[in-house]
Amino acid sequence: MDKLKKVLSGQDGSADDRNVLQAVNEASTLNWGTRVKGFAICFVLGVLCSVLGTCLLWIPGAGLAVFAVMYTAGNIASLASTMFLMGPLNQLKRMCEKTRALATAIMLTCLVLTLCAAFWWKIKGLALLFCILQFLAFAWYGLSYIPFARDAVTKLFSACLN
């Protein structure tokens, strides 16, 4: 368990030079129990917001706007939940790593475009498309943390298409 704590908090034994941001991050860390509770609460709230938003999609008139806000807020809360485990600085660094940068960029862009399509452009089909892309990018981003998961998914889909 201690090894898992060290890896998730970015203290995996590498002797990198510490800068000011890392020193501040380490000085303001929460204890492990509080981190796990924060993760669980934030993740559950994210899932509930996404599910509730999907249920409210069918409200006449304002359903699309409510759905877009709730679904996007749910994805943001789910993404923020992992910051409790890793710390904000480590999470931001990992989001920008080479293997995750494209998925992160697509996910964040689709978060914004979902809200734009629902509120400014008022195009329901486009908002739903951006929500689907948001989901797929978030799933691809999440799979990057599981060793060989992306390769397995790619092989599964290529086998289904052949």
Domain residue limits at 103: 2-161
- Average pLDDT on 78-91 reads 89
For the chain, the domain total comes to 1
Query: What's the rounded Cα separation, in Å, for the pair 132 and 56?
Result: 16
Q: Which residue has the tokens 């699309």?
A: 64
Lowest model confidence (mean pLDDT) among 37-41, 86-90, 134-138, 152-156:
86-90
pLDDT band at 6 (very low <50, low <70, confident <90, very high): low
List, in sequence order, the alpha helices (H) in 1-123: 2-8, 20-27, 32-55, 63-86, 88-95, 101-119
Query: 87-103 in b/e burial notation, b at 16+ Cβ within 10 A?
Result: bebbbeebbeeeebeeb
Query: What's the rounded Cα separation, in Å, for the pair 130 and 33?
Result: 36
Helix axes 88-95, 20-27, angle to 10 degrees: 130
Residue 111's pLDDT is what?
Answer: 95
95 vs 17, which has greater pLDDT?
95
- Average pLDDT on 135-144 reads 93
